[in-house]
Structure 1
Amino acid sequence: MDAAVSASAGRIVVTPRSAYGHPALERMRDAGYELVFPSPGAVPTPEQQRAALGSAVGYLAGVEPVTRETLAAAPRLRAISRNGTGADAIDLAAASELGVEVLRAPAANAQGVAELAVGLMLAAARSLPSATAAIRAGEWGRWEGIELAGRRLGLVGAGQVGRRVARVALALGMSVRAFDAYPDSSFAPDGDFAFAPLEEVLATAEVLSLHAPPAATPLLDARALAALPAGAILVNTARASLVDEAAVLAALDSGGLRAYATDVFEVEPPGVTTLTAHPAVLGTAHIGGFTRESVDRALGAAVSNLLDALDSDRERPGDE
């Protein structure tokens, strides 16, 4: 991109791992913006992030933390656009104070996350990772599974993702009880579904799937885990902060939990830990929204949001 064109609009930093090379980005180039990739295909380090943002007006952000220090090092930054719903990695108070708009792409990856949650339930119920690993090793390993039909699914969070999971579970023949801080009474799918208090959801959930926003303290601590029926399956495609990992490990060791299937970890990538190495843990690498369709929807929405925000304010003084 020549200097005359890029100077007319400014720089946009792009960090989502799935964005590099995606055709949706061409819309920003066509609008006259210069795109900067501090770490193509990888999560940037804080040093890479701050160096790239120093002269940027826009930021198409991935999962990396965006701290007050980072924002302070980006004096021209006007808007941050996330290619998903969550913005908990961004210091929202600092962004507000510094006049940086934070934009989200709600529901763009909901179908991908919901399908992964259902897949993890099925994999845990039938011990699929162990079964396939045995065949790969030339062994004839067989593990007795459980059927989901006739069992109770508990949902913590019944938004875009939770509602999709509920519909699939009902189609499988499960009953569903959902807790949501703001239950949508218009959601009334066919089958045995009802909203319920959290205590009832926990006490009856043979499978519990988490779809809630991040929490300051874990919702699933030792006390909450003890309330689940013995041998329950816990699925987490939402946030690592929702669970007390030490309490989960204790529940797995005692048999209180049959399995913990999770797409999220306190530290990502987590490396080899007691949790990741546990035979009853099914872990995936934060791939809930990493489907071709979800990536297309999320990046398309994130690009549109960012262009709308920047173009509405392109003539702001002090940018020359």
Structure 2
Amino acid sequence: MPSRIVVTPRSAHGHPAIERLRSAGFEVVFPSPGAVPTPEELIASLADSAGYLAGVEPVPRSVLIAAPRLRVISRNGTGADSIDLAAAEELGVRVLRAPAANAQGVAELTVALMLAAARSIPFASAAIARGEWGRREGIELAGRRLGIIGAGQVGRRVARVALALGMSVRAFDAFPDPSFAPDGDFAFAELDDVLSGAQVLSLHAPPARQPVVDDRALALMPRGAILVNTARATLVDERAVLDALDTGRLRTYATDVYQVEPPGMTPLTTHPSVIGTAHLGGFTRESIDRAMTAAVENLLDALDSDRERPGDD
């Protein structure tokens, strides 16, 4: 009987990269094609599986304990926040990622949200759809300061586009790359310096124990700033953001990520100064292809190396 690989990303069903798993002799199982699997579906499908090509679904300790043959989890993206990494390490399950596979897609969405917020595009489009001539005075991004928190693959791409638009850019990163020196008014800076000048603030940081954007951070930012989050919902204190929107300290909060997904109707999602998208930063044809190809290659390489280990027979 061939070894089993469980595949859960909604974009994986029917993707040609999955055929490489079958061609390599693996049985491919989709617990819930086109949908995010439930913990019960995961437990049932992983019980006798060696590999797992994972999407965004939570993978808690209970799921990993129920998969005694599981050797490798391969994510079709950069983040692994939803996986209990401590339990995976304890149980000897390798967790692999596809870094930068969706960086271009996320960066382009970030810029789109910046522009949508500056020109109130969702408001204008909704008014036209209702047969109304709705207009709000916009602002131009040229000449304004963009603050970036997290200058990795995505943040650097956003910085280059912002500079091309005529913005100045200040970026905070825990490990700044001195070789990144794009043309234009760009510099790395300390976090408070980035916040205090950020007329637009864009988040591209890894998970943090505490929100990066809280009451204190918002008080440092110029009044009427735009906040864009295409990284992680936990980087933002939602209550503080709502207060800032209500008082006008923030002009707009544009987000692609939420504490619970889908978020349903909440004070945040229904606020008139919030622009929300459905976690579609990496949901482009090109990003999906890069991520799926990388995830499959990582999975095959890891399982092949396990097969070659002495004593595994």
Q: State the TM bucket, normalised to the shorter chain.
A: over 0.9
CA drift at 1:316: 6.4
The percentage of counterpart residues that share the same residue type is 78
SS of structure 2 residue aligned to 1:27 = helix
How many angstroms apart in 2 are the aligned matches of 1:287 and 1:318? Answer: 44
2:215 alignment partner, one of 213, 222, 225: 222
What is the aligned partner in structure 2 of residue 98 from structure 1?
91
User: Is residue 233 from structure 1 mapped to residue 226 from structure 2 by the alignment?
Assistant: yes
| Number of corresponding residues | 313
Q: Is the 8 A contact 1:60 1:83 kept in 2?
A: yes
1:279 alignment partner, one of 267, 272, 276: 272
How many angstroms apart in 1 are the aligned matches of 2:176 and 2:228? Answer: 21
| Unmatched 5+ stretches in structure 1 | 1-6
How many angstroms apart in 2 are the aligned matches of 1:34 and 1:316? Answer: 21
Where do residues 116-131 of structure 1 align in structure 2 (5 Å cutoff)? 116-131=109-124
Moved over 2 A (4+): 314-320
2:26 alignment partner, one of 23, 30, 33: 33
User: Is residue 13 from structure 1 mapped to residue 6 from structure 2 by the alignment?
Assistant: yes
TM-score (norm 1): 0.96
Cα deviation digits, residues 99-134 of structure 1 (max 9, x gap): 101000000000000000000000000000000000
How big is the alpha-carbon RMSD for the aligned residues of Structure 1 and Structure 2? Answer: 1.2
Q: Which amino acid aligns with 2:91?
A: L
CA drift at 1:226: 1.1
How many angstroms apart in 2 are the aligned matches of 1:275 and 1:313? Answer: 46
Q: Which amino acid aligns with 1:241?
A: T
SS of structure 2 residue aligned to 1:124 = helix
SS of structure 2 residue aligned to 1:238 = coil
How many angstroms apart in 2 are the aligned matches of 1:318 and 1:185? Answer: 45
2:15 alignment partner, one of 18, 22, 42: 22
Q: Is the 8 A contact 1:76 1:319 kept in 2?
A: no
Where do residues 51-70 of structure 1 align in structure 2 (5 Å cutoff)? 51-70=44-63
CA drift at 1:292: 0.2
| Unmatched 5+ stretches in structure 2 | none
Cα deviation digits, residues 148-194 of structure 1 (max 9, x gap): 00000000000000000000000000000000000000000000000
SS of structure 2 residue aligned to 1:306 = helix
Cα deviation digits, residues 238-263 of structure 1 (max 9, x gap): 00000000100000000000000000
TM-score (norm 2): 0.98
SS of structure 2 residue aligned to 1:28 = helix
How many angstroms apart in 2 are the aligned matches of 1:226 and 1:190? Answer: 30
**Residue 231 to residue 30, structure 1, CA distance change in 2 (3 Å):** same
CA drift at 1:70: 0.6
SS of structure 1 residue aligned to 2:171 = strand
Q: Is the 8 A contact 1:113 1:161 kept in 2?
A: yes
Q: Which amino acid aligns with 2:230?
A: T
Where do residues 133-282 of structure 1 align in structure 2 (5 Å cutoff)? 133-282=126-275
What is the aligned partner in structure 2 of residue 109 from structure 1?
102
